[in-house]
Chain A
Amino acid sequence: MATGTLPPRPSSGTGTRSPGRAQIAARTLRTDSWRKAPTLTVVLLSGWVLYAVISTATQSAYFVKDYHYLSPFSSPCVTASCDPAARDFGAWFGHFPPLLPFAIVVLPLLLSFRLTCYYYRKAYYRAFWQSPPACAVAEPHGRYSGETRWPLILQNSHRYFFYAAVLISVINTYDAILAFHGRDGGFGIGLGTVIMLVNVVLLWAYTLSCHSCRHITGGRLRHFSKHPVRYWVWTQVSKLNARHMQLAWTTLGTLMFTDAYIALVSAGVLGDLRFFH
């Protein structure tokens, strides 16, 4: 009856092979395709970062002057290298050398917001650091200290990046409003306007669905009943928060799509589909 397929092994390992535990050699006995999710995360996140680096480093095709479409990757555009029409907040710096993104002021903040995001943490701890690659699959590291030490203890700063992300979302909203711009300088709506609008709405949804936001608006309270307004806000944020992962991925997509669309129109590859002027 016993097949004894597993060779006996010394019980002096670590993790699931620690002394005392059931002696099973396999790293995992999962039979489903647990590698799929982390692999997909690596491919998609790497692809996105690659695209973003190339797009911002080229310092070109970030702006459509006729319709005032400014790519979110280059907003706010505050260097003398920017197209004068795109400098909605003035020029704070002189000319940038090549390869330096125009939105250098906010990009680190935005990246940090996503880097310290509770969802992305899960995604990249699992996919890149394999800690763990999937549930009940042993991780390849001998030691583990979680987020107790430098640098990972800095993850606790997430709420500050959230504050920054709110400000940046305001700027993105301003950009979307300016994109209601006709060729004649007056009011106008094109496909680009719609794309920028959808992007900014989803960015708001992602930003407000943040776990820190949920905590700040109401989560930190002990008595909801004494703060009915904050409780209502908390329930709404909680509903969004349940979709935090979906929003995290969707906004990566819409950011990239918005940037790509503006680049294509700016380079003259595509003509913007105009609905009004």
Chain B
Amino acid sequence: MIAQLVTLALAIVTVIPLDLPDYAAVTPDFLLIAVYHWSLYRPNDLPYSVVFAIALLEDLLTAGPPGLIELTLLLVRWTVLNTRRLFIGRSFPFVWGGFAVTTMIVALADWLLASILAGAMQDPRSVAFRTVLTVAVYPIMTPLFARLQKLNPA
């Protein structure tokens, strides 16, 4: 329940404007962090259906290419579930590295698909910045998730 509430809250936090230059274009992908984290440690807390529903909400709020966020996050959850054995029990830098690779693949795929849908090459810089920020924010977010998780009854 906590996992679902936190992820839902993050979907809304993503669209809140901050008074920072160009923040909107490089807002960290909070949902990716949440889905990766919970798929790894508590997959039952954040099932596919919930991932889809929250991704759909985010999709409608951000007005990007429809369906892209849903597809991405479902695939991320699936990939994490199928590679969990590699990561469980490993050190944090290893898990973080896994997240970095995932984020880069997602960014590349998103960029390619958005370029195809728009019919023109998209500016890769904001995607690159966004990827770096997302990876950088991961070690700050996950201890928060773990702490919030402790509030979860059973």
**Is B truly associated with A?**
no
